[in-house]
Amino acid sequence: MSETVLSVQDLTVEFVTRRGTLRALDRISFDIARGEVLGVVGESGAGKSVTGSAIIGLIDPPGRIADGKVVLSGERVDHLPPEQMRRVRGKRIGMIFQDPLTSLNPLYRVGEQLIETIQTHTDLNAADARKRAIALLDEVGIPAPERRIDGYPHEFSGGMRQRVVIALALCAEPEFIIADEPTTALDVSVQAQIIGLIKRLCKERGTSVMLVTHDMGVIAETADRVAVMYAGRVAEIGPVREVIKQPLHPYTQGLMGAIPSITGDASRLVQIPGSMPRLSSIPQGCAFNPRCAKVFDRCRIDRPELIDVGGHQVACHLYDKAKAPAGKTEIAA
Task: Answer whether residue 266 shows pLDDT above 70.
Answer: no
Go through the domains of the chain in sequence order and give each one's CATH number: 1-78+215-260+270-333 (3.40.50.300)
Task: Answer whether residue 328 shows pLDDT above 70.
Answer: no
Task: Answer whether residue 239 shows pLDDT above 50.
Answer: yes
Q: Are strands 37-41 and 225-230 parallel, antiparallel or unpaired?
A: parallel
Query: What span, in angstroms and rounded, lies between the C-alpha atoms of 139 and 128?
Result: 16
Quick one: angle between helices 110-121 and 158-170, nearest 10? 20
What is the identity of the amino acid at 231? A
**More confident: 119 or 202:** 119
**More confident: 206 or 302:** 302
Query: What span, in angstroms and rounded, lies between the C-alpha atoms of 258 and 123?
Result: 50
Looking at every residue in the chain, the average pLDDT score rounds to: 89
Q: Are strands 20-33 and 312-314 parallel, antiparallel or unpaired?
A: unpaired
Q: Are strands 208-213 and 20-33 parallel, antiparallel or unpaired?
A: unpaired
**More confident: 259 or 307:** 307
Task: Answer whether residue 333 shows pLDDT above 60.
Answer: no
What is the identity of the amino acid at 173? E
* Helix, strand and coil in the chain, % to nearest 5: 35, 25, 40
3-state secondary structure of 211: strand
- Out of 82-96, 199-213, 240-254, 311-325, least confident range: 311-325
CA angle at residue 126 from 124 to 129, to 5 degrees? 55
Query: What span, in angstroms and rounded, lies between the C-alpha atoms of 161 and 190?
Result: 11
Q: Please give the pLDDT value at position 1.
A: 46
Which tens digits make up the pLDDT trace of 41-77? 999 889 999 999 999 999 988 999 999 999 999 999 9
Q: Please give the pLDDT value at position 322.
A: 65
Helical segments of the chain, H only: 48-56, 82-88, 110-121, 126-139, 145-148, 158-170, 188-205, 216-222, 240-245, 250-257
Quickly state the pLDDT bin for 327 (edges 50, 70, 90): low
Q: For 258, what's the count of Cα atoms within 13 Å in the CB-facing half-sphere?
A: 14
Which tens digits make up the pLDDT trace of 150-164? 999 999 988 889 889
Query: What span, in angstroms and rounded, lies between the C-alpha atoms of 100 and 50?
Result: 19
Task: Answer whether residue 139 shows pLDDT above 90.
Answer: no
3-state secondary structure of 148: helix
Which tens digits make up the pLDDT trace of 81-130? 988 998 898 889 988 887 787 789 999 999 999 999 999 888 899 999 99
Q: Please give the pLDDT value at position 261.
A: 73
Q: What are phi and psi of 254, to 5 degrees?
A: -65, -40
Task: Answer whether residue 231 shows pLDDT above 90.
Answer: yes
Percent of the chain with pLDDT over 90: 59
* DSSP symbols for 81-138: -HHHHHHHBTTTEEEE-S-GGGTS-TTS-HHHHHHHHHHHHS---HHHHHHHHHHHHH
Task: Answer whether residue 173 shows pLDDT above 60.
Answer: yes
Percent of the chain with pLDDT over 70: 94
Query: What span, in angstroms and rounded, lies between the C-alpha atoms of 193 and 141?
Result: 9
Total Cβ atoms within 10 A of residue 261: 10
- Going by C-alpha positions, the residue among 236, 212, 231 that lies closest to residue 223 is 212
- Going by C-alpha positions, the residue among 271, 266, 265 that lies closest to residue 251 is 271
What do you get for the CA distance between the two ends of the chain, in Å?
26
Left if phi > 0, otherwise alpha if psi is -120 to 50, otherwise beta: which for 255? alpha
**More confident: 176 or 192:** 176
**More confident: 329 or 244:** 244
Q: Please give the pLDDT value at position 323.
A: 62
Q: Please give the pLDDT value at position 197.
A: 82
- Going by C-alpha positions, the residue among 87, 28, 77 that lies closest to residue 55 is 77
Query: What span, in angstroms and rounded, lies between the C-alpha atoms of 243 and 120?
Result: 41
